[in-house]
């Protein structure tokens, strides 16, 4: 009788082990910080889909400047007498632009395509301002001074087009220079950032010997 009882118990235990579900081989990974729970909103980005740029054609949020320049304001590669020195505060000291060495009468050219927003005199100094095409809203604006303008307000200009000549007076440099500035609304930016590397670092042209 004992033998039969033991056999029944053994068969029961064997069946329970065979019919039990197998344990999982790997534990489920905990949710990461980047995981998002669907909300049912089709515009809500999921964990593996990056959120689209809301304004890909507008100005960058970090204040970067598109390298749309295709010419220097004066010459082929003028000497920079003083670089851009952003002020620590809105009204603090600094240099809101760059000074480029240029003799009086030197042609001043538009760095990039745009519309002449101002051409006249400010505090007795000749100033030309060009609103650059395709640089966001509000657009970038370049200023050139002291300049005798050869363009009028509202006129469209192309890269490298002459917009005036360097005045003999009105410069704040020890020698005659052109002050070149860049702004977006009320924020001053480095105008040299408009120039692509191939133009910014280009040296003066050299004549090569011609062999017969």
CATH number at residue 92: 2.70.70.10
Q: Which residue has the higher pLDDT, 96 or 78?
A: 78
CB 101 within 8 A of CB 166: no
Instruction: Report if residue 194 sits inside a domain.
Output: yes
Q: What is the pLDDT of residues 99-136, one digit of tens each?
A: 999 999 999 999 999 999 999 999 999 999 999 999 99
Domain tally, the chain: 1
Instruction: Report if residue 133 sits inside a domain.
Output: yes
Q: Is the pLDDT of residue 98 over 50?
A: yes
The predicted structure's pLDDT at residue 138: 94
Q: What is the pLDDT of residues 27-40, one digit of tens each?
A: 344 444 333 333 34
Distance, CA of 133 to CA of 203 (rounded, Å): 27
Instruction: Report if residue 139 sits inside a domain.
Output: yes
What pTM does this model have?
0.65
DSSP 73-115: SSSSS--EEE--B--SSTTSS-BSSEEEE--TT-EEE-SSSEE
């Amino acid at each position: 009788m004992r033998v039969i009882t033991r056999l029944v118990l053994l068969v029961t235990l064997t069946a329970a082990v065979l019919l039990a579900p197998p344990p999982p081989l790997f534990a489920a990974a905990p949710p990461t910080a980047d995981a998002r729970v669907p909300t049912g909103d089709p515009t809500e980005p999921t964990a593996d889909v990056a959120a689209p740029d809301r304004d890909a054609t507008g100005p960058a949020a970090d204040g970067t400047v598109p390298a749309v320049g295709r010419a220097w304001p004066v010459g082929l590669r003028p000497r920079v007498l003083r670089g851009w020195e952003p002020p620590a505060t809105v009204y603090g000291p600094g240099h809101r632009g760059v000074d480029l060495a240029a003799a009086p009468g030197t042609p001043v050219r538009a760095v990039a395509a745009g519309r002449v927003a101002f051409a006249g005199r400010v505090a007795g100094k000749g100033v030309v301002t060009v609103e650059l095409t395709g640089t966001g809203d509000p657009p970038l604006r370049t200023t050139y001074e002291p300049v005798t303008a050869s363009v009028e307000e509202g006129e469209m200009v192309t890269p490298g087009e002459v917009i005036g000549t360097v005045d003999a007076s009105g410069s704040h440099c020890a020698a005659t220079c052109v002050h070149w500035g860049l702004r977006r609304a009320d924020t001053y930016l480095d105008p040299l950032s408009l120039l692509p590397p191939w133009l910014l670092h280009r040296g003066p042209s050299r004549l090569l010997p011609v062999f017969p």
